[in-house]
Amino acid sequence: MPLQWSPSLAIGVPEIDRQHQQLFSQVNELLSAMASGQGRERLLPLLEFLGRYATQHFGTEERYMSQYSYPAAAAHKQQHEAFVQAFGHLAAEAKAQGASTDLTLKVQRQVVDWLQSHVAGTDRSLGAYLRAKMG
Ligand SMILES: [Fe+2]
Q: Residue 38's pLDDT is what?
A: 78
- The predicted model scores a pTM of 0.93
59-89 pLDDT per residue, tens: 999 999 999 999 999 999 999 999 999 999 9
Are 68 and 119 within 8 A, CB to CB?
A: no
Query: How close is the Cα of 7 to the center of ligand 1, in Å?
Result: 17
- Angle made by CA atoms 97, 105, 120, in degrees to the nearest 5: 130
Query: How close is the Cα of 5 to the center of ligand 1, in Å?
Result: 16
Q: Residue 35's pLDDT is what?
A: 86
Q: Residue 4's pLDDT is what?
A: 92
Residue 39 CA to residue 33 CA, distance in Å, equals 8
Query: How close is the Cα of 120 to the center of ligand 1, in Å?
Result: 10
Q: Residue 17's pLDDT is what?
A: 98
Full set of structural domains in the chain with CATH: 11-134 (1.20.120.50)
User: Which residues are close to ligand 1, an ion, with C-beta < 5 A?
Assistant: 61, 123
18-35 pLDDT per residue, tens: 999 999 999 999 999 888
Instruction: Indicate the pLDDT class of residue 1, thresholds 50, 70 and 90.
Output: confident
Query: How close is the Cα of 119 to the center of ligand 1, in Å?
Result: 7
Query: How close is the Cα of 123 to the center of ligand 1, in Å?
Result: 5
Instruction: Indicate the pLDDT class of residue 98, thresholds 50, 70 and 90.
Output: confident
Q: Residue 37's pLDDT is what?
A: 80
